[in-house]
Amino acid sequence: MFRDTTSCNTYNYGDARYWDARYVQEGGSFDWYQRYSALRPFVRKYVPTTSRLLMVGCGNAVMSEDMVKDGYEDIMNIDISSVAIDMMRKKYGNIPQLKYMQMDVRDMSFFPDESFDGVIDKGTLDSLMCGTDAPISSAQMLGEVSRLLKPGGTYMLISYGDPSARMPHLSRPVYNWKTVLYIIPRPGFEKPEKSCSTTKSYLEPVPTTEKGLLPLDFVLEDPDSHFIYVCKKMDETELSKMPTYPLTNDVI
C-alpha cells in the first residue's frame, strides 16, 4: 500500500551498495530535481539563515554549498553512501558551515530529539518510496524527521510525487505537521505558445482539499512538475488551537 511506482525502476535505492557504486562511477556533482536558485524563494521564506539545518540524502549535490554562499550558517549533511560522504568531506573540508556524516535516514538516533530547526529533503523520501518495503521505510524516515525537528521547525520535501502519493504519509497525526503545498515546473520547461493558462505565480501556495489533495479540476501546467511540501511542526500553542471533533453515532 502507498508504494509509489510512477518513476521507479528496478534499482534498490534504499541500499548503500547501490549508491556507493553509483558515486564511484559518476563522480562530479549532481542536483536532483531543482537547483538552489529555483528553490531559494521557498527556503528563504520558511528557513531562517541562522537555523541549524539537516540535509538528508545530500549525495554529491551543491545545494548546501549554494546555501552557505547565501548566508546559511550551520548545515549537517547526511547520506547512506560512505563514498559520497568521503567525497564531500574532501571537497568542503575548508568550509566550517558544512558538516558531513554517513547515516541512514531511517535511523538517525545519533542525534538527540529536537536537534534541528529545519530538515531539507530533495529526493530522499522519493527514493525510499520506490522500494518494496516503502511503507515501512517511509514511516521510519518521517518518524525520525519529526523527532529531530524542534517545535515550529520545518521539513521541506521536494518531490516528484503528487499529493495523492505523498499526503497519506505526511499527514499522519503523530507528526503534528501543518503542510503547505507549492508546485514548480521542471527546469527548462517552457509554457506552450498557445497556452491560455491563468496559473498563479509558482511562489503562491496551491489550494488543497481538507485531506491535502489537489482539487479534481486542478490542471498541472507542466505534467512533470515538482511538488514542494512545507511541513511545519506545530508547537503546543498551535496544537491547542486545533479543532476537535466530538464522536457521533455515525463514527462510533
| pLDDT score of 20 | 67
| pLDDT score of 250 | 37
| pLDDT score of 249 | 42
CA 11 – CA 142 distance, rounded (Å): 22
pTM score: 0.87
| pLDDT score of 110 | 98
3-state secondary structure of 91: helix
What's at 158, amino acid-wise? I
Reference 182, options 224, 223, 219, 230; nearest CA is 230
CA 154 – CA 136 distance, rounded (Å): 22
| pLDDT score of 244 | 46
| pLDDT score of 161 | 95
Which string of b and e fits 206-235 if b means at least 16 CB within 10 Å?
A: bebeeebbbeeeeeeeeeebbbbbbbbbbe
Q: Could you tell me the domains of the chain?
A: 32-188+219-240 (3.40.50.150)
pLDDT per position in the chain (252 positions), as tens? 344 545 565 466 667 776 667 767 776 676 778 999 999 999 999 999 999 999 999 999 999 999 999 999 999 999 999 999 999 999 999 999 999 999 999 999 999 999 999 999 999 999 999 877 889 999 999 999 999 999 999 999 999 999 999 999 999 999 999 999 999 999 988 877 665 554 468 999 999 999 999 999 999 999 999 999 999 999 877 766 665 434 344 333
CA 93 – CA 213 distance, rounded (Å): 42
| Residue pointed to by grid coordinates 539545518 | 53
Q: Alpha helices of 31-190 — where are they, by DSSP H?
A: 36-46, 63-69, 82-92, 124-129, 134-148, 163-170
| pLDDT score of 108 | 98
